[in-house]
Amino acid sequence: MKTETITLPGDVPGNAIELRVLRFEGRDANAPTAYLQSALHGGELPGQAALHFLVPLLEKAEAEGRITGNITIVPQANPIGSNQWQAYQHLGRFELFTQTNFNRAFPLLPDFDVSSLPQIDAALPLAERLKAALLRLALPHEIILDLHCDDQSENYLYIHQDFLPEMTDLAVALGSKAILAWDSTADAAFEEACAYPVLQMPVDTRDMKRRAVTTVEFRGLADVDFATGRSDAQGLYRFLVHRGVVKDDGETLAVAFDGPVTPLANVEMVRAPQGGMVLYHVVPGDEVGEGDRLVTIVTRPGDPSGDVTLTAPQAGRILTRRSLRYVRRGDDLLKLLGKRPSAVARRPGALEA
């Protein structure tokens, strides 16, 4: 493994950030190649734990001559967001200066030519130069896994529908409980920026069996521990073996995903009609029927007549819920995977801000 450090100068004198890039060189120039990054939202660490335990597995494979395709790993993809703290709280989702989500507004390129992307010392804000640097690292690879997590959540994947069904093998390898299939835009998330050049190619030239582009939601923010990290690393390793990036005769994958593949239109984003204290009736993984109680919001503590109870608009599976028990009017409370489109009109694009 070779470690490269890319230093991006900050926006004012005396500041800089460092991207640590870990590279494994493949022995077969025709093998698929893979890029994995984690913590684009700064403090989402289940994916970083997975990569922490994956690297030693790859080092062993390298020592035994079993790395076939090039592998690039960036375990801390966002040193800006990793360093954003305010009043003792970590705030890694939005850049504090512009309030822009770090996983939005990536450049969408018409093809794989990255020469038009700004260089690391261009006359542009650091966040834009960081996005360009990540894209320049990722785009030469056919397999691109961006490892995130939700709040309290099952393990699930976002995948553009054109990468299905070929990419269900990833869901099997990682033990994902659901796939959310998007089709229009993801608000120029990193995943969309990596999928975009593929989607501009004629369908018969895309060779989707070699490709994988996804946002992995590795459960919830607090699901960071030895056992989960090791198990997720094993899942990523199994996938890389299955796709021929690493050779290991001991790893096999039965390719049959039996979880739901849900279009974004069928995701019920249950929102708080008023602010207050949240009491959940459900946990991620629950199957609910139409009309079942999901969550009660206490709007006047001490006066039960102020309670607002929200019920399931349709039958389905609880995928995620908020960990904070205090919410504002309009906040997202949970995601329910339905079998039919939600009656609530939704703008095209990512589910969340």
Residue reference for tokens 């896994």: 145
Angle of the 46-63 helix axis to the 226-242 helix axis, nearest 10: 50
CB nearer to Zn ion: pick between 146 and 286: 146
Backbone angles phi, psi at 345, to 5 degrees: -65, 140
Q: Nearer to Zn ion by C-beta: 177 or 238? A: 177
Shortest Cβ distance from residue 4 to Zn ion (Å)? Answer: 24
CA torsion, ordered 142, 143, 148, 152, to nearest 10 deg: 130
Of residues 44 and 169, the one with the C-beta less far from Zn ion: 44
- Of 73 and 350, the one with the shorter C-beta distance to Zn ion is 350
Q: In whole angstroms, how far apart are CA 194 and each of 35, 113, 160?
A: 11, 12, 11
Segment interacting with Zn ion (CB under 5 A) among 94-102, 146-154, 163-171, 308-316: 146-154
Nearer residue to Zn ion within complex by CB, 292 or 352: 352
- Which range of residues in 34-42, 68-76, 165-173, 292-300 is near Zn ion by CB under 5 A? 34-42
242 binds Zn ion (CB under 5 A): no
The answer to whether 243 and 235 have CB atoms below 8 angstroms apart is: no
Q: Kindly state the smallest distance separating residue 113's Cβ from Zn ion, in Å.
A: 28
* Contact between 297 and 276 (Cβ < 8 Å): yes
Give ∠ CA 327-332-335 in degrees, rounded to 5: 135
**Segment near Zn ion (CB under 5 A); pick from 44-52, 202-210, 239-247, 307-315:** 44-52
CA distance 212 to 230: 22
CB of 39 to Zn ion, least distance (A): 9
3-state SS class at 239: helix
Q: What distance lies between CA 41 and its chain's CA centroid?
A: 9
* Smallest gap from residue 93 Cβ to Zn ion (A): 7
Under rule CB under 5 A, residue 41 binds Zn ion: yes
Residues 129, 141, 148, 177: which binds Zn ion (CB under 5 A)? 148
Question: How many residues of this chain bind Zn ion (CB under 5 A)?
Answer: 3
Work out whether 322 is an interface residue with Zn ion (CB under 5 A). Answer: no
Residues that bind Zn ion (CB under 5 A): 41, 44, 148
